[in-house]
Amino acid sequence: MKIIFVSNGLKVGGAEKFLLTIINGFADRGYHPVLILLDDENPLLSELNRSVKTYVIKRKFRYDISVSLKIRKTIIQEAVSKVICIETYPFFVSKLLFQFNKKTKFYLSLHNSLPISWKQHFVDIVYLKAFRKSDTAIFICNYQKQCFHDRYFMQPFNSVIIYNGIDTNYFSNLKARSEIPQEIFRWKTRLGLNENSKIVLMIGRLSKEKGHPYAIEALKYLHNQLNMEAHLVIVGSGPETYLKNLKEKSAKLSIDKYVHFAGSNSEVRPFLLEADIFTLTSFSETFSIAALEAMSCGMPCSLTNVGGAAEMVINQKIGILSESRNPASIAESWKRLLSTTHNREYISAYTASRFSLEKMMNEYLSLIGN
């Protein structure tokens, strides 16, 4: 069966990683997914299964009606009856010319919860006007579903919650140790750390909503108020100006020798297996794939209590939730985790039972049908 996926693009981000995972998962199971991208800048395209037919339909401006025409033409040309749209804009432009077509089934896959601005909130309201009773909304956690109900008064007739899933076999000690050259595991030495250093690890793109400044302030609080020495290792890339500001903040707080920027790394498993704890200090997050990858590797997690974090970290055997934008709360969660011995096998097994790729794919296959 053919399925068309419509997405803004394949830049680096959680929704894009999800898209790659789900499309490749369908292709591996004998389906014939087709991908429509609404941008021609797609650095993650090389990770797509080579059997997936891809169309790039770039818009000239936000409300370029020709995009809808080209999407409609592609859907008809590919003889597809099921379309999965990632986020609200791709859904809006795809559904625009199918408002009265009941033969084509549309699914809206949502990956954000809180709009980044009032302007975004308004345009999302407009985009969601295209949603009809015959369409299905796919939420990735209960928190997100409640958010759309409260902020957009969205109560879809058809909806389902399917948690993000990851390859828990790939993100495991055994798999990583057998595949990765040992020199790659020597990242501590490359960053000037010794083997006994306590390490708080943060992985993700460098962007404002991830709350990196709060992590740096929390490290200062951990050292000065809680009398515990640790290093913060940040893996990820982003705008040079933002990175410069983070380095300047570390220096201003006289904590820069304990803050390490490892840059972008396509292979993050050595960091996940060698650090002590994983953290996210986001003030806007829906359901972090990076956190799931850390949990799969057995890492105890300190997550700010935003989005679906409470649906991931359900007890203190797995991690601790802290208050967002609160360095003291974040630092206290770090100290508790760094002072406790955790059963990494338990964390890995828990993650595999709830958030595996296989479980997610089975739920999507059940939803889409044959």
How many angstroms separate the CA atoms of 365 and 156, rounded? 20
Confidence of residue 358 (pLDDT cuts 50, 70, 90): very high
Lowest-pLDDT choice from 172-181, 227-236, 319-328, 334-343: 172-181
Q: Is the pLDDT of residue 183 over 90?
A: no
- Contact partners, residue 167, CB within 8 Å, separation at least 6: 21, 356, 357
Q: If one looks up domain 173-354 in CATH, what number appears? A: 3.40.50.2000
pLDDT digits (tens, 9 = 90+) for 200-236: 999 998 999 999 999 999 999 999 999 999 999 999 9
Predicted TM-score (pTM) of this structure: 0.90
pLDDT digits (tens, 9 = 90+) for 282-314: 998 999 999 999 999 999 999 999 999 999 999
Sheet with 199-203: strands ordered across: 259-263, 231-235, 199-203, 277-280, 301-304, 319-322
Mean pLDDT for 29-49 is 91
Residue 343, pLDDT score = 96
Residue 115, pLDDT score = 76
- Residues of each domain in the chain carrying CATH 3.40.50.2000: 2-165+356-368, 173-354
Q: Is the pLDDT of residue 130 over 70?
A: yes
> Are the beta carbons of 264 and 238 closer than 8 angstroms?
no
Which CATH class, in words, describes the domain spanning 2-165+356-368?
A: alpha beta
User: Mean pLDDT for the chain?
Assistant: 93
